[in-house]
Structure 1
Amino acid sequence: MQLIDIGANLTHDSFDHDRDAVLQRARDAGIVQMMVTGASREHSPKALALAQAHPGFLFATAGVHPHHAVEYTDECDAEMRALHAHPEVVAVGECGLDYFRDFSPRPAQRRAFERQLQIAADLAVEGVGKPLFLHQRDAHADFMAVMKSFEGRIGPAVVHCFTGTREEMFDYLDRDWHIGITGWLCDERRGLHLRELVKSIPANRLMIETDAPYLLPRTVKPKPSHHRNEPRFLAHIVEELARDRGEEVATTAAMTTATARDFFRLSAIP
C-alpha cells in the first residue's frame, strides 16, 4: 500500500526527541507522502522547514488555526503570504472556525478566516491557486456563510478531521469539497456515527489523515504507552475505513492516495 497522510502536526514539540524515527516508522507503514500542518505563526514556518528538509516526502500547509486567530495581524498576513511563495507549501490553512472551545473570540476567528480565504483568492488570480485546508467545529452556519462570501473565487477545499453531522457532510459534498477522515472514526464514544456516514463519501472526495499527535485511534492494539498518535497509525485508520465502506483495504488505500495526490498536485512516487 501507498498511503498519504494529509494532516500531521509534525512540528509539535512531542516529536522533538524522535522526529526522524517517527518519519522512518511512517515510511515502514506505507506512508509515501505527508502534509505537515501549519496552524500558527510559529508553526507554519516550521512546517515549511520540515518539508524543505524532506523533499518529495513532506509538504507543508501554512495558516492560522482559529484557536490562534487573535495573532492574525497585518504582519501575520504578510508572513503567511511569504510562506505561500514557496512551492513546498501546498495548501492555505489550517484555517476556519472553532466555537467548541472559543480560544479566540468569534469575531476574531471570522476575521482571520476571511483574511486567509482572501490569500487563497489572490493566489487563484495570480495563477498559482492552492487548495484550502479547513477546520470547522460547532460553527457550521457561520462557516458556510463565510465560505459563501468567497464563492467562485477560491479553488478546491478539504474539511479536515471531519466529525460533524450527516447534514454538514452533505453541505460540503454538495459544494464539491473534500472530506478528511481521522482516527475519530475509531472512537466508540464520539465517532460511531461516522461508521455509517463514510459509506456516502464519493471516492474522489475522500482523504485520510492522522492529525498526529492528536486523536490516537482508540482501536489500535497494543496502545503505545505514551498515547501519542503518529503517522504510522494511518494504516490502521484505512483498515477501519475500508471495513466500514465495504471495500478491500487496498482499494480504499489506492483511492484515497489518488485523491490526495490530485488535490494537492503531488507528483507520483515510483
Structure 2
Amino acid sequence: MQLIDIGANLTHDSFDRDRDAVLQRAREAGVSAMVVTGASREHSPLALALAQRHPGFLYATAGVHPHHAVEYTEECDAEMRALLAHEEVVAVGECGLDYFRDFSPRPAQRRAFERQLQIAADLAAAGNPKPLFLHQRDAHADFLAVMKQFEGRIGAAVVHCFTGTREEMFDYLDRDWYIGITGWLCDERRGEHLRELVKHIPAERLMIETDAPYLLPRTLKPMPKDRRNEPMFLAHIVEELARDRGEDVATSAAITTAAARAFFRLPG
C-alpha cells in the first residue's frame, strides 16, 4: 500500500526534536510521498528546504494562510513567486479565507487570497501551471466570490482539510476542485457528517492528508501520549475512509494516491 499525505506541517516546531524519526515512521506505515505545507513567510522557505533535503519523498507548497494575511506585503509576494519557481514547490498556498478565527482582518484576508490567486494565474499564463492548495472555514460565499474572479485563469485546486457542509462540498465538486480529507473524519463530535459525504466524492477528486501535527484522529487506539498527529497515522485515516466509502483499504489507498500524483504532477 502506497499513500500520499497531501498536507503535513512538518516544519512545525513540535517536530524539531525527532523529524527524521517521524519521516522514517511514515515510510514504514506506507507513506510514499508527502507535501509539506508552506503557510507563512517564515515556514514556506522552510518547507522548500525540507523538501530539498528529501528529494522524491517530500515536496512543498508556498503560500500565506489567512491567519497570516497581514504579513502579505509586496516583498512577501516577491518571496512567494521566487519560491514557486522551484520544481520542489508543487502548489500555490496554503491560501484562502478563515472567518472562524479572524486572526487577520477579513479585508486583509481577501487581499492576500487574491494576490496568491494572481500568482497561480500568472504561472498558468507563463506555461508553468501549479495547482492551488486552498483553505476555507466559515467563509464559503466570499471564498467562491474571490475564486470566481479568476475563473478560467487558474488550473486545478484542492480544498484541503474539508470540514464543511454537503452544499459546500458539491459547490467545490461542481467546479472540478479536489477534496482533501483529514482525521476530522474520525471526530465523533464535529466530523460525523463527513462519514456520509465521503461516499459522494468521485475517486479522481479525492485525496487524503494528516494536517500533522494537528487533527490527531480521535479513533486511534492507543492514543499517543503527546497527542501529536504525524504522517504515519495516514494509514489509519485511509482505513476509516475505506469503511465509510464501502471500499477495501487497498482501493481507497490506490485512488487517493493516483489522484494526488495527478494533481501535484508527482513522478510515479
TM > 0.5 fold call? yes
Q: Which runs of 5+ in 1 are unaligned?
A: none
Shift of 1:158: 0.1
Shift of 1:204: 0.2
- Taking the aligned partners of 1:102 and 1:241, their CA distance within structure 2 comes to 31
Q: Deviations over 1:124-143 (max 9, x none)?
A: 01100000000000000000
Q: Deviations over 1:80-136 (max 9, x none)?
A: 000011000000000000000000000000000000000000000110000000000
- Taking the aligned partners of 2:78 and 2:3, their CA distance within structure 1 comes to 34
- Taking the aligned partners of 1:89 and 1:119, their CA distance within structure 2 comes to 13
Which aligned pairs between 1:42-61 and structure 2 lie closer than 5 A? 42-61=42-61
The yes-or-no answer on 1:267 pairing with 2:263 is no
Aligned to 1:251: 251
- Taking the aligned partners of 2:85 and 2:146, their CA distance within structure 1 comes to 25
Q: Secondary structure at the match of 2:227?
A: coil
Aligned to 1:71: 71
Aligned to 1:3: 3
Shift of 1:7: 0.1
Q: Secondary structure at the match of 1:189?
A: coil
- Taking the aligned partners of 1:169 and 1:71, their CA distance within structure 2 comes to 30
Question: How many residues are aligned here?
Answer: 268
Q: Secondary structure at the match of 2:193?
A: helix
Aligned to 1:126: 126
Which aligned pairs between 1:84-163 and structure 2 lie closer than 5 A? 84-163=84-163
Aligned to 2:183: 183
The yes-or-no answer on 1:236 pairing with 2:240 is no
Q: Which runs of 5+ in 2 are unaligned?
A: none
- Taking the aligned partners of 2:136 and 2:257, their CA distance within structure 1 comes to 23
- Taking the aligned partners of 2:18 and 2:126, their CA distance within structure 1 comes to 39
Shift of 1:45: 0.1
Q: Please give the TM-score of this superposition, normalised by the length of structure 1.
A: 0.99
Q: Secondary structure at the match of 2:6?
A: strand
Q: Secondary structure at the match of 2:22?
A: helix
The yes-or-no answer on 1:202 pairing with 2:202 is yes
Aligned to 1:222: 222
Aligned to 2:170: 170
The one-letter amino acid of 2:82's match is: A
Q: Secondary structure at the match of 2:48?
A: helix
Which aligned pairs between 1:21-60 and structure 2 lie closer than 5 A? 21-60=21-60
Q: Please give the TM-score of this superposition, normalised by the length of structure 2.
A: 1.00
Q: Which runs of 4+ in 1 moved over 6 A?
A: none
- Taking the aligned partners of 1:124 and 1:106, their CA distance within structure 2 comes to 27
- Alignment identity in percent? 87
Q: Deviations over 1:180-232 (max 9, x none)?
A: 00000000000000000000000000000000000000000100000000000
Q: Secondary structure at the match of 1:80?
A: helix
The one-letter amino acid of 2:30's match is: G
- Taking the aligned partners of 1:250 and 1:84, their CA distance within structure 2 comes to 33
- Taking the aligned partners of 1:232 and 1:66, their CA distance within structure 2 comes to 27
- Taking the aligned partners of 2:113 and 2:202, their CA distance within structure 1 comes to 27
Q: Secondary structure at the match of 1:192?
A: coil
- Taking the aligned partners of 1:11 and 1:253, their CA distance within structure 2 comes to 25
- Taking the aligned partners of 1:211 and 1:21, their CA distance within structure 2 comes to 18
Q: Secondary structure at the match of 1:210?
A: coil
The one-letter amino acid of 1:179's match is: I
- Taking the aligned partners of 2:131 and 2:81, their CA distance within structure 1 comes to 14
Aligned to 1:17: 17
Shift of 1:28: 0.2
- Taking the aligned partners of 1:129 and 1:233, their CA distance within structure 2 comes to 31
